[in-house]
Every structure is written in C-alpha cells, then in structure tokens.
Amino acid sequence: MTDSHSDALVFFGATGDLAYKKIFPALQAMIKRGHLSVPVVGVAKAGWSLEQFRARAHDSLEKHGGVDAAAFTKLSGLLRYVDGDYQDPATFQALRKELGSAERPAHYLAIPPALFETVVEHLGKTGCAAGPGCNEARVIVEKPFGHDLASAQELNAILHAVFPESAIFRIDHYLGKQPVNNVVVFRFANSFMEPFWNRNYIESVQITMAEDFGVQGRGAFYDQTGAIRDVIQNHLFQILCNLAMEPPVRTDSETIRDEKVKVLKAIPGLDPANLVRGQFRGYLEEKGVAPDSKVETFAALRLEVDSWRWKGVPFYIRAGKNLPVTSTEVLARFRRPPTVIRDSALSQNYLRFRISPEMTIAMGATVLAPSGAMNSENVEMIASHRPRPEEMEAYERVLGDAMTGDATLFAREDYVEDAWRIVDPVLRAATPVYGYEKGAWGPSEVDQKVSPPGGWHNPAAEDQEDFRVAAQAG
C-alpha cells in the first residue's frame, strides 16, 4: 500500500440497493485480487448490528456472483458497521471512532444527492474528512451528479466546501468498462487509425445503448430522471469523448481529462429539433411513475462536435429501455469511395466498436464474392473479439482506482458541468414524447426525424459465429 492509498473505505447507504448489487461483489473481488486490506465501514440507518450487516454482505454475494469462502472470511474481518441518522452528529462521531487511526479514509456516498450536503458537512466537522491527522480523505460520489447544470454546480460547491477537487471521485461506471477504454487504446496505439479517423473519411458516427428490459422496479427514480439524464449525459457522452478526443500529450489523469473536456467544449447545446423522445407502452403503469408522466424511456439525438477533426460530421446517440436487445455499440460509417464498381451489394465501410455484451472491434469491408462472378460481398475484418470478457467488473476497477488516488476514470468538475450545459436546452424544452411498443427500436418518428445517413444500425443480440459476413451497414 502506497502513502497515498486510502487507509479505510467508508460507504454510506450500506444497506441500500447499490451496495447489495455492486459494492459487496466489488469488495470481494478486490480481496481475491489482493487489492483490499483496509477496514471497510458501512454506514446506514437500519437499526442493524455488525452481524446483520455481514449477513447482508453474504446474501448480496450469493445473489450477485457467488461467495468465495476464503475471500468472504477476509471481507467479514474487515467489515465495520455504524448505524445512525445522517442528520445526527453522533453518527459521525461514532464513525470517527470506528475509523481509529485512519488518516486517509475514502468516503463513498452511495446515497441520494439530496443527502450529500448533510453528510459532507458532518464529515468535515467531525474530523472524518479534514482536520489534524485527516488531510487526505477522499470522497467518491455516484451518478446522477445533479439533474441539470445549476444543480450540478450546487453539488460541486457542497463538495468543495470540504474536499478539494483532487479528492473528489465522481463515478461513471462506464469508465470502468474495458471495452470503453479500449476505444482510446485502439485509436492511439494503432497508426493506421489516424489518417481516416476524422471529417475527411468519416461520414457519421452513431452510438446505440439498447436494453431489452424496462425500469426494473426503479420507477420512482427513473421518473425523476429519464434516458437523457440516466445514461446519455454521462455513460454515452463518455463513449463519445473517447471516440472524438485528440491524443493526449501525456498519460496523467489531468491531461487525459483535459482532452475529454475539450470534446465537450466543442459541442454546442443540443437543439430540440434534433431530438426524439419516446416512452414504452406500459411505462405509466410502473410503480412509482406519475400517471401522466412525460419522462422518456428512449431518446435519439444528433449533435455536432465542432472541432478541427470533426467539424461537419454528425454524431448520433440513441438509448432506450425495452428495446429488442441489450447491447451497446458504436458504428462509424466511412464516406463512399469514388468507385466505378456498380453492384447492389456494395456497402459503405464502417468501423464497429461493440461495447457490450461482447467486445468486438471490426471494420466492414467489401470483397469479391467467392462465387467468381463479378459480385461483391460485405465482410468484417475483426481486430478483436472477446465473447465473454474475463475482466474486472467496472465497480471493482473504479473503487480500486479511487482508493489509490488515480482520477483518470472519473468525471471532473468541468466535465460534468459541460455535459449538463449540452443537454440543458433539451431538458427544458418539453419536446413531445412518442409511444413505442416494448421490443421495438423506439418510436417510428425516430427514422423520420433523427436518422443517420444510411440509417440506424441495430446491434444484434449476440455477435454470432458468422458475424464476419455482415450486411448491416447502408
């Protein structure tokens, strides 16, 4: 453990859903890899004992990934539990006591943003985050980080009252996904990419995040959020930045994050005319959803990146619940060659980054068909294909990075604010919400109003064995 490694992990909201589904499995995985050996203090108001808290951890692991007996024994030994109200200073005094000699705790706020102010203030006042012997405390916060630009600025001010920016780690778990980071590596580790990865050769870029399930009992949360706030302003903008950023001149976290912020700066605020919102039929019957809700469970939009590299190339983003498949995929179509070959099968070249569920990087090309006749066929050149990536779970990666103080995979203050600036105009615009059937690719209005040249590419449920023969692109 280095001198800057967090010497305790505290997580607020310890009895909540996120802890149950993601945090306990991440903690067990960190232990298995030898990456966690410091006390882990759960804080919540449930009237629980430490034993009940351990039982909850066990239950969580049984349901999410399985219990590893040796790792669980070690995790149990590291677990501490503080029960109390976040409004009550005594809760934080008990936490300080539980932290013992820890000087560099990482406080993970897995709680609704409305509680941030109270918790952060108490952390500051009770010596859990600042003061003698506690100068390098960190805070890790979950998305959604605000619900518009103004609220994100308020949250930033709340955090900065106690933590400097360098101690704030805003999670976007998409940054913990290897296929998302592979976009950057593939672009900057391969010299053949650079000549064509720009406005001269790329005609359009589209990103689709499709989920074949609905709001899964999270109606009350989702109805305050909608697809734009839930996944576009954060997860899909991060993918967009990885696709559009310039090569960083150094590999430190701030240089990389500077380049991402530059992409956002080049994007004008969204025009409501370039957005189609949809709502799956049946959404209004979901528990926690307002009976007349106009919240979107689907959104498709077009934006511009007005940088030297991308000026004039439209970027399209589409995300939705209850679509036909669960997959996230990027397709960049090339401009057509000035060819004299006339063939109905002749297709546009494309580069395809499949982010999930499998990871594929492939380039669509046209070759002569084996039949021997002067017919062509479309094939894919596969750069990489991992059917079931054996990789670190996103939460394991981001928690580990926050504890070692590596900020690369976290959203910086200027980044989150600029991302909100871009979507703010459409969030305020009250554009129509069109209905769509479950299992459709969103409302039919999308194809008329927001459709890439050559149309939307619909990711397949699975990259099949024969996916090398592709006929999907325009």
Provide the annotated active-site residues.
Answer: 235
The Cα 428–Cα 432 span in angstroms is 12
In the bound state with ligand BG6, the residue whose beta carbon lies nearer, of 211 and 401, is 211
Count of C-beta atoms within a 10 Å radius of residue 389: 14
Q: With contact defined as beta carbons under 8 Å apart, do 31 and 74 qualify?
A: yes
Q: How far is the CB of 386 from ligand BG6 (least distance, A)?
A: 16
Residue nearest to ligand BG6 as judged by C-beta position = 230
Q: With contact defined as beta carbons under 8 Å apart, do 279 and 445 qualify?
A: no
Q: How far is the CB of 471 from ligand BG6 (least distance, A)?
A: 27
Burial zone of 202 (CB within 10 Å; 0-12 exposed, 13-18 middle, 19+ buried): buried
Give the Cα-Cα-Cα angle 422, 425, 431 (nearest 5 degrees): 125
Tokens of 415: 């980044």
In the bound state with ligand BG6, the residue whose beta carbon lies nearer, of 122 and 173, is 173
3-state secondary structure of 269: coil
Q: With contact defined as beta carbons under 8 Å apart, do 145 and 152 qualify?
A: yes
Q: How far is the CB of 356 from ligand BG6 (least distance, A)?
A: 6
Residue 108 makes CB contacts below 8 A (sequence gap 6+) with 9, 10, 11, 12, 23, 139, 140, 399, 402
Q: How far is the CB of 137 from ligand BG6 (least distance, A)?
A: 26
Tokens of 402: 């926050």
Amino acid present at 141: V
Cis peptide before 144 (omega within 30 of 0): yes
In the bound state with ligand BG6, the residue whose beta carbon lies nearer, of 138 and 173, is 173
In the bound state with ligand BG6, the residue whose beta carbon lies nearer, of 220 and 369, is 220
In the bound state with ligand BG6, the residue whose beta carbon lies nearer, of 173 and 302, is 173
Q: How far is the CB of 346 from ligand BG6 (least distance, A)?
A: 35
In the bound state with ligand BG6, the residue whose beta carbon lies nearer, of 211 and 418, is 211
254-269 burial, b if ≥16 CB within 10 A, otherwise e? eebbbbbbebbebbee
Q: Which residues bind ligand BG6 (CB under 6 A)?
A: 173, 211, 230-231, 356
**Following CA atoms 153, 155, 158, 162 in sequence, which dihedral angle do they give, to the nearest 10 degrees?**
-100
In the bound state with ligand BG6, the residue whose beta carbon lies nearer, of 267 and 398, is 398
Count of C-beta atoms within a 10 Å radius of residue 213: 10
Q: How far is the CB of 397 from ligand BG6 (least distance, A)?
A: 12
